[in-house]
Amino acid sequence: MDSTCPTRIPSSANKSLSMWRSLLLSFVIIFRLVDAFPMIPFKIWVQDDEQDWTVKAGQIPDYVVKYAPTVHLYSEEVYLPCDWREFTANMYPVLDGKNISHNIGFPMTIYDVGRLPRNEDVYLTSTSDFDIDPDWITGIGNRPDIETGRNPAPAILIVFDKGDGWVDSFWFYFYSFNLGPFVMGGGPYGNHIGDWEHSILRFYKGQPHSLWMSAHGGGSGFTFKALEKLETDPNRPVIFSARGTHANYGSAGQHSHDLPFRMLSDFTDRGPLWDPAKNYVAYTYDGTLVCGEGDTTSANAEWLYFPGHWGDKKLDPSDPRQHFHPFEWRYIDGPTGPLWKHLDRTTVCQQPKWYNMRGTCRVRNSLEYGEGIESEGFGCAGVFDRIRPRFLGKFIRFWFWGGWGCEFIDWMWG
């Protein structure tokens, strides 16, 4: 009886098979561990990333300056950016109608501002007649360099780490005077000495997420992708400062606000381009402590804690410079400083306007173009010429006749 002997696997092949089995078993064990403890590798990765995007006291992350916004001033702007430190030399402090400068030097310095009473009723008041437009009011000479965009008047940068990867960079732009708007041919109304405007660029783990810009106690927000960027640097968003009021917008043209039928409007255009990243003074803030760049104390930032007004108190009705209008007085109170702009906000928006009953914060995914003949936007009406077949385009144009449909679309989606 014949018997067939089983074929024997060579020892070298046996070892190779055992090696692959061991590798496969190792991978299975690793994947099982990852499923069972998913946060172990995640925590390790986060610790590595945190070294790049977290903010330490007195240290400004590189990405904040890399993505800094640029500002188109209005081409015929009279009241240009100013150095807030030079501004204080033309002011003296007033509390309850009384001069309280006896405890500080004259002219007043920015360090003296930090020594003033922590009282919100203190007003920095002009030492001379601001109504004749002296140089310290107009900021004459503070136009950005046409080649570099550098402005002699520095911007202020305050970086606030909100935790969990979220970092807010607040860029403040100071002007010595705010020229109020004209309403139905009358005005200007709502003028005030001192003007703190700002934009906030929000980051998530070092990447730009959204940008909000101030305008008349409110403002507008956009995703970073929606904003216009510099042609020479696609990392730098572009914003537009309105004539006189210095309200900030995302496009050039007319921007109506607060009142119906476009009775109240701001105007922006592609005037001198200001690059705040070329000249700025930086601080970090954690909700309590403000530290200057390169410092871990608030020794050089005491002036930021001043809760009073950066400008004269609303002029008395008996003052010949004051005029009344049903909408607003000609001269109103000066504004409060940067730390009183809700820097601890959770949403990117500063605060809702009075008519925003729900208090929502709207961040647009597309750019909101200006209105009127100065607008650079394509507009929804331009789409009609691209609709095929042509009879369908004409039909839609008929139903949108007069621009009411486009008005609604532009209002809803920008």
pLDDT tens-digit map of 257-272: 766 666 778 999 999 9
Domain membership of residue 318 (yes or no) is yes
Domain membership of residue 33 (yes or no) is no
Domain membership of residue 409 (yes or no) is yes
pLDDT tens-digit map of 170-195: 999 999 999 998 877 777 999 999 99
Same domain assignment for residues 336 and 408: no
Same domain assignment for residues 124 and 267: yes
Same domain assignment for residues 348 and 389: no
pLDDT band at 387 (very low <50, low <70, confident <90, very high): confident
Extract the tokens encoding 30: 């690793």
Domain membership of residue 161 (yes or no) is yes
Extract the tokens encoding 274: 């200001």
Domain membership of residue 14 (yes or no) is no
What's residue 7's pLDDT?
A: 40
Does the pLDDT of residue 8 top 70, yes or no?
no
- Tally of domains in the chain: 2
Same domain assignment for residues 175 and 238: yes
> For tokens 């990117």, what's the residue?
348
Same domain assignment for residues 358 and 384: no
SS3 75: coil
What's residue 265's pLDDT?
A: 86
Same domain assignment for residues 332 and 394: no
| 347 phi, psi to nearest 5 deg | -85, 165
* d(C-alpha 228, C-alpha 236), whole Å: 8
Same domain assignment for residues 73 and 206: yes
Same domain assignment for residues 187 and 329: yes
Using CB atoms within 10 A of its CB, is residue 213 exposed (0-12), middle (13-18) or buried (19+)?
Answer: buried
pLDDT tens-digit map of 343-373: 999 999 987 766 666 677 889 998 877 777 6
Same domain assignment for residues 181 and 279: yes
Domain membership of residue 12 (yes or no) is no
Domain membership of residue 137 (yes or no) is yes
CA angle at 63 for the pair 60 and 64, rounded to the nearest 5°: 55
Does the pLDDT of residue 35 top 70, yes or no?
no
Largest CA distance in the chain: 132
Q: Tell me the residue range of the domain where 219 lies.
A: 62-364
Does the pLDDT of residue 44 top 50, yes or no?
no
pTM for the model: 0.79
What's the whole-number mean pLDDT along residues 27-55? 46
Same domain assignment for residues 207 and 111: yes
pLDDT band at 155 (very low <50, low <70, confident <90, very high): very high
Which helix or strand (DSSP H or E) is residue 30 part of? helix 11-36
**What is the number of other CB atoms lying within 10 angstroms of the CB of residue 56?**
11
pLDDT band at 1 (very low <50, low <70, confident <90, very high): very low
Same domain assignment for residues 183 and 279: yes
Same domain assignment for residues 221 and 194: yes
Domain membership of residue 223 (yes or no) is yes
pLDDT tens-digit map of 82-116: 999 999 999 999 999 999 988 787 899 999 999 99
